[in-house]
C-alpha cells in the first residue's frame, strides 16, 4: 500500500471518529431550573430606563456544552412561541457602554470603549452601569488571547506555522505595547474584545446588556433574530422566524470563518463551517471551503465540501497532508494525556481539544476530496465514508 493510500485510509478512519466526537453543543430541552437569577436584576434595570423593553418570554439559561455536563454555555431561550416580526427587546442607549471620549479621536474606537469600561469598573457598585457590570464580571472570557501562558503555548504548538488563526495574540501584544499591562485595563480589554459588537451606523464598539447573550449560529436556517442599532437611540432585537417554545434564539455575528470566531470569541461554531487556509507563506495557495453535514443522508458521517477557491494544487495538497499528519501526531503526544498538563486550565484544554477536532475534520475532508481525482461520488462514499465529488467540487462565489 503506497503512502497516499495509507493516508486516505487514515482519513476514512479519522472521519468515523471525528463525527462521533462532541464538537458542538447539545440540543437540550428547556428547563427553567437552569435560569440565571442575576439576569433578573439586569432586566429590571433595563426596563427602568425610558423605552427599555425585554419580552417576558426571554430567559437566559446555562446549558451543557456536550454530553459530559462538565462545560456550560449561556444562551437566550424563549418560554413561549415567537412569531416573525415580534420585538424581543429594546436596550436604551443609556444602558450601553460604548465610546465615551476617554481617549483621543485618533485612537481605535475599541480602545475608547475599553477605557470607558475600565472607568466604570473603578466605581463598582456606585457606577450607573452596576447591574450590567455584575453580569459581565461573572462571565468567563474564552478567546485564546486571554488564556494562560501555558494554554496559549500549547495552542500555538498545535497550530504550528501553517494553520489558522495566525498570530492570534497580536491584538493583545499591540494593546500592551501602547497602553501597558494594568490589570483593570487588561480585564476591560478582554471583555470588550470578546463581547462588544459594532453598531450598524458606524465604527463604534458597544457592550450591549442582554443582547450580548445571544449566541451565533452559522446556519441561516437556524438564525431567528436580527439586531438593529441606532446611535443615541438604542439597540433592538426582532424575531425573523417562527420559534417554538423552549428553543434558543440565535443571531449571526460579524465575520465569516470558523477560525475567526474561535480567535475573537473563543467558541467552535456549529456546522456549517467555513475555513480559509492561507498557505502562500509556505509555498502553497489560498484554499477556502465550506463544510456542511448532508441533511437526511443515509450515512450520517457524510459532509458536503464546497470550494470557494479552485481545488488545491499539488504543493498545497502536500502541505495539507503534512499538517493533517502533524495534527494526528499532536493528538497522540499531547491530547491523549491532557490531564497531565496541570498548568493549563481545564476550560482551555477543552477548547483546544474541540478546536483540534474541528481542524482535523476540515483538513481530513479537504485531503480526501482533493485526492479522490476523477472517482465517482458513489465510489468516494463507499471507500472514504465522505462525499467529495459531484456538486461538492463546484466553485462558489463568496
Query: Quick one: average pLDDT of 118-144?
Result: 92
Output DSSP code: residue 66: S
What was the pLDDT predicted at 254?
76
Q: What are phi and psi of 286, to 5 degrees?
A: -95, 125
Q: Per-residue pLDDT for 278 more than 80?
A: yes
pLDDT in tens, 315-344: 999 999 999 999 999 999 888 777 777 889
What was the pLDDT predicted at 55?
97
Which residue, among 49, 92, 54, 89, has the nearest Cα to 232 in the 3D structure?
Answer: 92
pTM of the model: 0.82
What was the pLDDT predicted at 178?
87
What was the pLDDT predicted at 100?
79
pLDDT in tens, 76-118: 999 999 999 999 999 999 999 988 777 766 567 788 899 999 9
Three-state DSSP class for residue 379: helix
Q: Grid coordinates standing for 25?
A: 453543543
What was the pLDDT predicted at 78?
95
Distance (Å, rounded) from C-alpha 141 to C-alpha 120? 19
Angle value at C-alpha 74, between 336 and 21, nearest 5 degrees: 30
Report yes or no: 267 and 261 within 8 Å, Cβ to Cβ: yes
Domains, the chain: 3-23+271-393 (no CATH), 26-255 (3.90.1410.10)
Which residues does 271 contact at the CB level (< 8 Å), separation at least 6?
23, 24, 218, 219, 291, 292, 293
Residue positions counted in the chain: 398
pLDDT in tens, 15-72: 333 333 333 344 444 444 455 677 899 999 999 999 999 999 999 988 776 655 556 7
The CA-atom distances, in angstroms, between 214 and each of 55, 88, 224 are 14, 12, 11
What was the pLDDT predicted at 74?
86
pLDDT in tens, 344-392: 998 899 999 999 999 999 999 999 887 765 333 433 332 333 333 333 3
- In order, the DSSP letters of 315-356 are HHHHHHHHHHHHHHHHHHHTGGGGGG-TTS-HHHHHHHHHHH
Which residue, among 217, 198, 58, 194, has the nearest Cα to 136 in the 3D structure?
Answer: 194
> Would you place residue 300 in the very low, low, confident or very high pLDDT band (cuts 50, 70, 90)?
low
Q: Per-residue pLDDT for 201 more than 80?
A: no
- Pairing mode of beta strands 215-216, 250-251: parallel
- In order, the DSSP letters of 208-253 are -TTGGGPEE-S-TTT--EEEEEETTTEEEEEE-S-B-TTPBPEE--
- In order, the DSSP letters of 260-325 are HHHHHHS--PPSSEEEEEE-GGGT--EEEEEEEEPTT-SSTT-EEEEESSPPPPHHHHHHHHHHHH
What was the pLDDT predicted at 387?
35
The CA-atom distances, in angstroms, between 270 and each of 217, 255, 259, 273, 291 are 7, 14, 12, 7, 10
Amino acid at each position: 500500500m503506497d503512502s497516499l493510500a495509507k493516508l486516505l485510509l487514515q482519513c476514512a478512519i479519522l472521519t468515523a471518529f471525528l463525527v462521533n466526537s462532541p464538537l458542538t453543543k447539545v440540543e437540550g430541552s428547556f428547563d427553567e431550573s437552569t435560569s440565571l437569577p442575576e439576569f433578573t436584576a439586569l432586566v429590571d434595570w433595563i426596563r427602568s430606563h425610558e423605552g427599555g423593553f425585554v419580552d417576558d418570554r426571554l430567559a437566559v439559561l446555562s446549558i451543557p456544552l456536550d454530553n459530559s455536563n462538565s462545560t456550560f454555555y449561556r444562551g437566550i431561550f424563549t418560554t413561549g412561541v415567537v412569531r416573525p416580526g415580534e420585538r424581543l427587546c429594546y436596550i436604551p442607549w443609556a444602558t450601553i457602554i460604548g465610546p465615551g471620549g476617554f481617549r483621543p479621536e485618533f485612537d481605535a474606537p475599541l480602545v475608547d470603549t475599553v477605557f470607558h469600561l475600565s472607568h466604570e469598573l473603578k466605581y463598582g457598585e456606585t457606577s450607573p452601569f452596576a447591574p450590567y457590570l455584575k453580569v459581565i464580571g461573572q462571565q468567563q472570557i474564552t478567546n485564546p488571547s486571554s488564556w494562560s501562558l501555558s494554554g496559549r503555548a500549547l495552542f500555538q504548538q498545535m497550530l504550528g506555522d501553517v494553520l489558522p488563526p495566525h498570530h492570534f495574540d497580536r491584538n493583545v501584544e499591540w494593546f500592551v505595547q501602547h497602553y501597558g499591562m494594568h490589570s483593570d485595563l487588561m480585564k476591560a480589554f478582554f471583555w470588550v474584545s470578546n463581547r462588544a459588537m459594532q453598531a450598524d451606523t458606524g465604527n463604534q464598539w458597544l457592550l450591549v446588556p442582554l443582547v450580548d447573550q445571544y449566541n451565533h449560529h452559522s446556519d441561516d436556517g437556524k438564525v431567528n433574530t436580527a439586531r438593529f442599532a441606532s446611535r443615541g437611540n438604542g439597540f433592538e432585537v426582532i424575531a425573523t422566524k417562527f420559534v417554538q417554545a423552549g428553543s434558543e434564539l440565535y443571531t449571526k455575528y460579524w465575520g465569516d470563518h470558523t477560525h475567526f470566531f474561535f480567535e475573537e470569541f473563543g467558541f467552535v461554531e456549529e456546522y456549517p463551517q467555513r475555513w480559509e487556509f492561507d498557505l502562500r507563506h509556505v509555498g502553497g495557495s489560498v484554499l477556502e471551503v465550506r463544510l456542511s453535514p448532508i441533511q437526511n443522508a443515509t450515512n450520517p458521517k457524510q459532509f458536503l465540501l464546497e470550494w470557494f477557491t479552485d481545488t488545491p494544487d499539488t504543493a498545497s495538497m502536500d502541505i495539507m497532508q503534512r499538517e493533517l499528519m502533524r495534527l494526528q501526531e499532536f493528538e497522540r503526544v499531547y491530547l491523549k494525556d491532557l490531564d497531565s498538563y496541570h498548568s493549563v486550565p481545564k476550560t482551555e484544554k477543552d477548547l483546544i481539544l474541540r478546536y483540534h477536532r474541528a481542524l482535523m475534520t476540515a483538513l481530513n475532508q479537504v485531503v480526501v476530496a482533493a485526492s479522490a481525482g476523477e472517482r465517482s461520488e458513489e465510489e468516494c462514499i463507499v471507500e472514504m465514508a465522505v462525499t467529495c465529488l459531484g456538486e461538492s467540487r463546484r466553485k462558489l462565489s463568496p
